Amino acid sequence: MAKVKPVEVDAADIVEKILHKAVDERASDVHFQSEREDLTVRFRIDGVLYVVQNIPQYLRDGAISFIKLTAQMDIVEHQIPQGGRLEFNHKGRLYDIRVSSIPTIYGEALVLRIFNRESNILKIEELGFDSDQIEVAKQIIANPYGMVLITGPSGSGKTTFLYSILNALNKPERNIISIEDPVEFHLDGVRQVQISEKKGMDFAKAIREMMRQDANVTMLGEIRDSDTAGMAFQAALTGILVLSTFHTFDVAGLIVRFTELDIPRSVISHALTSVISTRLVRRICSACSANYEPSDLEKRFCGIKHDPFLLQRGEGCEACRNTGYLGRTGIFEIVYFDDEIQTRILEEASPSAMRELFKKKTDKTLYDAVLQKIYDGVTTVDEAIRVVGMPLEVRRG
């Protein structure tokens, strides 16, 4: 009997099929994790990671090398972190993919962040704001100068929100310049600057040059260090509307962080006009949504004190990959810096005192916003707890 030859499998073909599948399933990130026996592939879909495939060990190195080579990374270097970018064509659409590698005990781990160049930018009204928050948000971005910060952890929708604001402000009478790393969406009418630290173009230098370009509005992808923060605040004080993001979990902590970056309180008080905190929660899948009676804990979370009371959740179906969720929407908390807040910043009020003041000044907290989404049948208590946590008063019962 003739010996059957094993079917040859190309690591490059496997990677390409995985990327096509990732785009089809709306994954924002693809993780390639080297394990003892294989290469585990996971997709982040709607903010949650799922294992989708295991690549055999004998193909692991080939798959990793193909990704690194395509992303113009050093395929010989395995002991230090690297970054790169590649283009990917899926069904006639171009996607930019940012690649990050890091060495682990079993080999390299790669994370690929997927950006759709041709994605439609959402209108502010489509982001998930409650009706009473929409007008406040529009008034804030209508200010001709000052700094507006969008805060939240990684993956909370900050960049999507920034692009929605730029899209709303994009008029022929305004000179808008964005400074990004990387440029994630292309906006006609906006001058978009790509950061390249290897070539000496960092955020601080780009802002310095932007101030000589007669800008009305600038979007700064992220405030990372004291030099960038200093230039951003200087721009805001010179009459430019500065939009940016900052990683922090509450507004009081943001004030502390800026002082640690050597920004004087007088500058923070006069330049910072508002802070909008954002998070993303998964939507209940409309194809398998069903009513159910909540548990005692869920009732406490929602402040329900009477029966009967029904909530909604997805039971799982093919459309949502049996998760019960399909897509995401935003929840928001808006703090406008009025005279009282500015005065308290100048008086060097403690973080705890500032938290109490912000709580008093905020019409709707993230907790309030997510509760409304639960009442409206948009998301679930489990998802709310995953994203915003369990309030202390609820934990205490």
Contact between residue 284 and residue 314 where contact means Cβ atoms under 8 Å apart? yes
In whole numbers, what is the pLDDT of the chain averaged over residues?
A: 92
Q: How far apart are CA 216 and CA 239, in angstroms?
A: 8
Q: What is the pLDDT of residue 397?
A: 62
Residues 6 or more apart from 36 whose CB is under 8 A from it? 106
Model confidence, pTM: 0.89
* Band of residue 190 on the pLDDT scale cut at 50, 70, 90: very high
Q: What is the pLDDT of residue 21?
A: 97
Q: Where are the alpha helices (DSSP H) in 81-221?
A: 131-141, 158-169, 203-210
Instruction: Retrieve residue 356's tokens.
Output: 């109490």
pLDDT(264) > 50: yes
Q: Which residues pair with 277 in a beta bridge?
A: 151, 333
SS3 content of the chain, % helix, strand, coil (to 5): 35, 30, 35
Could you tell me what percent of the chain has a pLDDT over 90?
80
Identify residue 5 by its one-letter amino acid code. K
* Token pair 């922090």: residue: 248
Domain locations in the chain as residue ranges: 11-116, 124-396
Instruction: Retrieve residue 60's tokens.
Output: 């692991």
**pLDDT tens track for 355-391:** 999 999 999 999 999 999 999 999 999 999 999 998 8
Question: In 3D, which of 43, 263, 71, 245 has the Cα closest to residue 163?
Answer: 245
Q: What is the second-level CATH architecture of the domain 11-116?
A: 2-Layer Sandwich (3.30)
Q: What is the pLDDT of residue 327?
A: 96
pLDDT(393) > 80: no
**pLDDT tens track for 59-110:** 999 999 999 999 999 999 999 999 999 999 999 998 999 999 999 999 999 9
pLDDT(4) > 60: no
* Band of residue 132 on the pLDDT scale cut at 50, 70, 90: confident
- 358-388: b or e for each residue (b if 16 or more CB lie within 10 Å)? beeebebbbbebbbebbeebbbbbebbbebb
Q: How far apart are CA 39 and CA 17, in angstroms?
A: 15
Q: What is the pLDDT of residue 396?
A: 65
Pairing of strands 311-314, 289-292: antiparallel
Average the pLDDT over 252-276 and give the result.
95
* Band of residue 7 on the pLDDT scale cut at 50, 70, 90: very low
Average the pLDDT over 189-217 and give the result.
90
Average the pLDDT over 178-201 and give the result.
87
**pLDDT tens track for 283-336:** 999 999 999 999 999 999 998 877 788 999 999 999 999 999 999 999 999 999
Domain 124-396 classified CATH 3.90.1150.10?
no
Q: How far apart are the first and last CA of the chain?
A: 74
HSE-up of 356 (CA within 13 Å, CB side)? Answer: 5
Identify residue 383 by its one-letter amino acid code. E
